[in-house]
Chain A
Amino acid sequence: MKLFRQIKRLTAKTKAFMWEGSVQDQGNSEGLTGSLENDFHRIKQLFEGAADFSYREMKINQMNSVVILYLNGLVSIERLEIHVFHPLVTANEKLPQHVDINIDDLKGILSSAQVSQGATFREVIDQILAGGTVVLMNGSKQALFISEQSWEQRSVDEPVSEAVVLGPREGFTENIRTNGSMIRRRLKTTKLKFEYMKLGSISQTEVMITYLEDIAETSIVEEVRSRLKRIEIDAIEDSGYIVEFIEDQPFSLFPQVLQTERPDRVVGNLLEGKVGILVANSPFALIVPVTFFEMMNSPEDYYGRFIMTSFIRFIRYLFLAVALLFPAIYIAVTTFHHELLPTNLIFSVAASREKVPFPAVIEALLMEITFEALREAGLRLPRPIGSTVSIVGALVVGQAAVEAGIVSAPLVIVVATTGIASFMFPSYALTGAIRLLRFFLIFLAATLGFYGILLGIFFILVHLVQLRSFGVPYMSPVAPFHFNNLKDIFIRVPWWMISERPNETGKRNLKRLNPRNRKY
């Protein structure tokens, strides 16, 4: 306890740093003056040095002239020409020549779909920065905002990190509007809410909280809202930034926020009463609150047949144990508990270790770290070279090392099996936690044998049980136990038997389906 207090004291020092002096667009809250020259001049000054800032002045009749302002690259010039420039150039045909017209008249001749108004410099600047087009007119204290945004973007693609065989193949893109539309397309109800906010003092990143009204707990939605609002940072580059800000226990190895590329997964979770967070320029949506078991599920579990799914889930949990424990058990058995192996197996293990110069721990660490390096290298390298690396890795590190007698063959099997096992989990973030904990358990096994492994598992379980994600116990519905929700944890019962939403998040409206579905 004393230790924690000291850590707190250390972190308290950083509070002296004041946020107020940070770089951000400030002020400009005063209204437009109505004098085109002054207003235009002021805006031009603000954008000085920004080469993508474009404007065009034109006279629309004898009395009035306008300035059109936009950022090059964020607007569709083609559409601007059709819906803004063309009507304005030909305005003298429609508007009275010698009358001082007001802004509404001007609005009337524009054929753009989205035209709105604003009166302050702040609004004008924000509109321009967000890719809008602003029309200022002399004598008007109002400005027209035209939405004709268009920029180059990636098309909707198959999600890379969560590929499935069965099920929809579209994944989120970097465009938050497209992402929102993918969710809306799946939930055609007014209950689906998108709450919009901007985060990042410089980046002004759009963030959307999405949830289903009457299903999601209001307290959780409110908590998400307040945690997001508390974020004060210069820029949000990806949803990963937000994860660290809103997690309950940022120092835990286990992810408490689910990052997903799949709109169907977001929708599935919204229906369970969870809250989604979409972040502009990030193809990863966030889902909170999340449980450990949700991390172990793949969206495909719900599209395939339930018996097969249950079997695959069993395999997944089995290999969770393998990924976590196999090297540790190997070390414990070869250095402490020789009596555990069948006699013939101990002969072959002993024979293969005969020439190895290192103790089993060093050997295992050597191989595990090499494997992690291979993994990382394969990820970073350009794709054509990537396959070369894996061949070299498999052949040289595997075969040659065994033949040279630097590592033993059984250990290569152990490391390879563990490697495969660690790629089985649908959640990338969880994989990381398990990979790190494996090393922790290897150390324990090397010093204390099975006793150490059990101690390690004990610590991990205690941690997992006390962990919470937005107030929801991480291990629910196993601890705290809720029998009805176990239908979709280690096995998946057929859909028509899952009549309730998870108790922790969907309590407001548990009814999912009519239980008479299959009573013909």
Chain B
Amino acid sequence: MKVIKLLLIWGITPIFLSGCWNRVEINDIAIVTAIGLDLVEEDKIRLTLQVAVPSKLVTGGTGGTGGKSTLMISETGATVSEAYRNIQGKLPRKIFFSQSRILLVGEDLAKKGVFHIVDFHTRYSEPRINSFIMFTKGEASKIISSMPHFENISAEETRELAKMGVGIKVYVRDFMNMLLTEGLEPFASQFTLEPLEVYTKNKSGKTQALNGIAVFKGDKLAGWMEEDETRGLLWLRNEMKEGVISIKIPHDQDGGNISMEIVRAETKIVPILKGGKIKLDVNVVTELNVIENDSKLNLFETKAIEEIQKYAEEKIRKKVELVIDKAQKEFGSDILGFGQAIYKKYPKGWNTDYKENWEKEFPQTKVTIHSKALIRRIGLVK
């Protein structure tokens, strides 16, 4: 008997000990698909959540036709977590952040500083640090509540779009890293709603679009860069995966355009310390395939190829130059990581000379761009 009693006690206690304290059934959670943050009333944070409604999401299931597949819900608070608790008061299901891959921040809030947002997102266990962080010129909640065209949920489209590699891809963890790294200022992609069709009288709907980047200085938004500069930044960050560059042939060579796709691009930032003065060399090597040619140039001639390469080099150089200029002159924010490059090559020099006053030095640093373009394939047509 004693044995049986002992066995019973041993068997039963663990069940009560564990208590299944964080056990939540899958149909008792509110799956957050996107998080939006805006500034309201000067100093309050408005947290907007896009919550999936599973029963409306799955087609072919029992019932569930009609009705929106997502629920928009928002609440304000002094901090993100306060707003989150306030929302929980309005939701019958437990808010669950881990499936959300989108963190959208409105312009006003970004200008005030985003450190505490990123802090919540990385410190709290639920949100993913590999969510995409994006900034928007208007209100974040507006973009979150846009209607999806392909997927069931607009956040899914946002994620797919961010993953494509057209624009720049910045995860929350990357943002946090950039924020904490010396000699590197954070940036993230800019997100907007744009009309589906252009130059038409059709009343077409709006769709999400990734264009440009938000440039930060510290944790505060410094300004925006447009599409063109984004490409330059991709080049500089060695993230150029695919893309097309078009060059114009001058009129004395019968004009026309040639388009090339980028096969491979490699960029090296080389700091040179000479006589106590820092100088930066940016070496850009690009491999290209010609995909479209409406000029009179005969690509089967080596001379023509060399000429095109020269034009392409110039074009790429200008693109990179543009972004460097903007970062140096307009924002004075080292999103290019020049400081990092210096620190890596001359750690001692960085610590003694530049660490403290890099903010002042950066706009004045001389940067030379060496662009090299190589055409690999020219296609089958003369």
Contact status A347-B26, CB under 8 Å: no
The residues in A between 319 and 344 inclusive whose CB is less than 8 angstroms from any CB of B are 334-336, 338-339, 343-344
Q: Which residue of the partner chain, among B15, B24, B61, contacts A352 with CB atoms under 8 Å?
A: B61
Contact status B31-A354, CB under 8 Å: no
Tell me, yes or no, whether A359 is within 8 Å of chain B by CB: yes
Please indicate which of the listed interface residues B24, B33, B126 has the most CB atoms of chain A within 10 Å of its own CB.
B24
Query: Contacts A6-B3, A335-B24, A339-B128: A351 and B61 contacting too (C-beta < 8 A)?
Result: yes
Tell me, yes or no, whether A68 is within 8 Å of chain B by CB: no
Which of the candidate stretches B94-102, B116-124, B168-176, B291-299 sits at the interface with the other chain? B94-102
State the Cβ distance, B53 to closest chain A Cβ, in Å.
Answer: 9
Contact status A351-B98, CB under 8 Å: no
Tell me, yes or no, whether B27 is within 8 Å of chain A by CB: yes
Contact status A335-B57, CB under 8 Å: no
Q: How far is the CA of A355 from the CA of B126 in the complex (A)?
A: 26
Contact status B18-A350, CB under 8 Å: no
Tell me, yes or no, whether B204 is within 8 Å of chain A by CB: no
Contact status A339-B3, CB under 8 Å: no
Contact status B3-A346, CB under 8 Å: no
Tell me, yes or no, whether A99 is within 8 Å of chain B by CB: no
Q: Which residues does chain B contribute within 8 Å of A334, judged by CB atoms? A: 25-26
Contact status A351-B54, CB under 8 Å: yes
Contact status B54-A339, CB under 8 Å: no
Tell me the dominant secondary structure on chain A's binding face: helix
Q: Which residues does chain B contribute within 8 Å of A339, judged by CB atoms? A: 98-99, 126, 128
The residues in A between 328 and 383 inclusive whose CB is less than 8 angstroms from any CB of B are 334-336, 338-339, 343-344, 346-356, 359-360
Q: How far is the CA of A338 from the CA of B96 in the complex (A)?
A: 9
Please indicate which of the listed interface residues A350, A354, A449 has the most CB atoms of chain B within 10 Å of its own CB.
A350
Tell me the dominant secondary structure on chain B's binding face: mixed
Query: Contacts A3-B7, A353-B27: A347 and B58 contacting too (C-beta < 8 A)?
Result: yes
- A-B contacts, CB under 8 A, total: 84
Contact status A447-B2, CB under 8 Å: no
Please count how many residues in chain B sit with their CB below 8 Å of the partner chain's CB atoms: 33
State the Cβ distance, B320 to closest chain A Cβ, in Å.
Answer: 37
Contact status A353-B26, CB under 8 Å: yes
Chain B residue nearest to A342 (CB atoms) is: B99
Contact status B2-A346, CB under 8 Å: no
Q: How far is the CA of A359 from the CA of B24 in the complex (A)?
A: 9
Tell me, yes or no, whether A18 is within 8 Å of chain B by CB: no
Tell me, yes or no, whether B62 is within 8 Å of chain A by CB: yes
Contact status A447-B64, CB under 8 Å: no
Tell me, yes or no, whether A405 is within 8 Å of chain B by CB: yes
Query: Contacts A335-B26, A343-B101, A353-B26: A447 and B20 contacting too (C-beta < 8 A)?
Result: yes
Query: Contacts A343-B33, A350-B31, A351-B61: A359 and B25 contacting too (C-beta < 8 A)?
Result: yes
Q: How far is the CA of A335 from the CA of B26 in the complex (A)?
A: 6
Tell me, yes or no, whether A448 is within 8 Å of chain B by CB: yes
Query: Contacts A346-B99, A448-B18: A351 and B33 contacting too (C-beta < 8 A)?
Result: no
Tell me, yes or no, whether B164 is within 8 Å of chain A by CB: no
Query: Contacts A6-B3, A346-B99: A352 and B58 contacting too (C-beta < 8 A)?
Result: yes
Tell me, yes or no, whether A7 is within 8 Å of chain B by CB: yes
Contact status A405-B26, CB under 8 Å: no
Q: How far is the CA of A239 from the CA of B99 in the complex (A)?
A: 56
The residues in B between 41 and 73 inclusive whose CB is less than 8 angstroms from any CB of A are 52, 54-55, 57-58, 61-62, 64
Please indicate which of the listed interface residues A344, A346, A348, A354 has the most CB atoms of chain B within 10 Å of its own CB.
A354
Q: How far is the CA of A337 from the CA of B341 in the complex (A)?
A: 41
Chain A residue nearest to B7 (CB atoms) is: A3
Contact status B98-A338, CB under 8 Å: yes
Q: Which residues does chain A contribute within 8 Å of B14, judged by CB atoms? A: 447
Q: How far is the CA of A347 from the CA of B31 in the complex (A)?
A: 8
Contact status A344-B156, CB under 8 Å: yes
The residues in A between 87 and 138 inclusive whose CB is less than 8 angstroms from any CB of B are none
Q: Which residues does chain A contribute within 8 Å of B2, judged by CB atoms? A: 6
Q: How far is the CA of A334 from the CA of B18 in the complex (A)?
A: 18
Tell me, yes or no, whether A391 is within 8 Å of chain B by CB: no
Q: Which residues does chain A contribute within 8 Å of B22, judged by CB atoms? A: 336
Q: Could you mark each residue 262-280 of chain B with 1 if its beta carbon is under 8 Å from any beta carbon of chain A, else 0?
A: 0000000000000000000
Q: How far is the CA of A336 from the CA of B58 in the complex (A)?
A: 22
Contact status A350-B15, CB under 8 Å: no
State the Cβ distance, B166 to closest chain A Cβ, in Å.
Answer: 21
Some 20 contacts from A to B, beta carbons below 8 A apart, are A3-B7, A6-B6, A7-B3, A336-B24, A339-B126, A339-B128, A343-B156, A344-B156, A346-B26, A348-B58, A350-B27, A350-B31, A351-B61, A351-B64, A352-B61, A355-B62, A359-B25, A360-B25, A447-B15, A447-B23
| Nearest 9 CB-CB pairings of A with B | A339-B98, A350-B54, A351-B54, A351-B58, A334-B26, A353-B27, A6-B3, A354-B55, A347-B57
Given contacts A347-B152, A350-B52, A353-B25, 17 further A-B contacts (CB under 8 A): A3-B7, A6-B3, A6-B6, A334-B25, A335-B25, A335-B26, A338-B24, A339-B98, A343-B33, A347-B57, A347-B58, A350-B26, A350-B29, A352-B58, A405-B62, A447-B18, A449-B23
